[in-house]
Amino acid sequence: MAWTCSGRSNGELISKMWNARLVLSERVRDAMISVDRAHFTPSQHLAYQDSPQSIGYSATISAPHMHASALENLLPFLGEGKRVLDVGSGSGYLTAVLAELVFPSSTSSSTSPSTSSSSETSSSENPGEVKKKSGKVVGLEHIRALRDLGETNMMKSEKGKKWLQEKKVEFVLGDGRQGWIDPDGEEGWDAIHVGAAAMEIHEALIQQLRCPGR
């Protein structure tokens, strides 16, 4: 079924996967529609094919239906304020879609203007009050050229460029088996996606996973 879902545009690709029940939730569907896969694939005319593509260094950008499966699996742990680590970020595509799920558009907020104003006033009147922590998405690569590729691809959209400038999204270089200790001082990840091949589950990743987390 998955191989019949290729499209002529990003929207058509995702719509076909939605109709084939390869994408199950509206949140995942909307996030994938928001990220143009053509920004992350080496071949523009194959950008909307539901198949993997080589990105060099013996790495690939996975087929869209595989990304959809990973996103659906992690979805309960993806939301505003969550911290997500993408091990083996490669092209940066999945990192970008994860960011869409962690940093929802302000227009989708259900908070009313009056509630927002009240909250801000309360915060200013109580300077000792703990503020809500902001989310973060980190793409981790062990090959510098792929780390750079993910960042370059993310910069192709204005939203991606803004996330990088604000350090809401970062691409870092390191050994994915050891996870990533964020220099910002905040510990742990609500969700860890491992897109790299692994012979075993590495304890460092388990230790960095928050509870509950996935």
Q: Which residues are annotated as catalytic?
A: 62
Conformation bin of residue 33: beta by default, left when phi > 0, alpha when psi is -120 to 50: alpha
Is the alpha carbon torsion for 213, 31, 172, 140 positive or negative?
positive
Radius of gyration of the chain (CA): 18
Q: Is the peptide bond before 212 cis (omega within 30 degrees of 0)?
A: yes
Query: What is the Cα–Cα distance from 77 to 201, expressed in whole angstroms?
Result: 20
Collapse the DSSP code of 161 into the 3-class scheme (helix H, G, I; strand E, B; otherwise coil) and give the result. helix
56 close to 45: Cβ distance less than 8 angstroms: no
Question: Which pair of tokens denotes residue 11?
Answer: 């929207």
Query: What is the Cα–Cα distance from 77 to 109, expressed in whole angstroms?
Result: 18
Query: What is the Cα–Cα distance from 80 to 65, expressed in whole angstroms?
Result: 24
Give me the residues paired with residue 60 across strands.
Answer: 54
DSSP assignment string, 17-39: HHHTTSS--HHHHHHHHHS-GGG
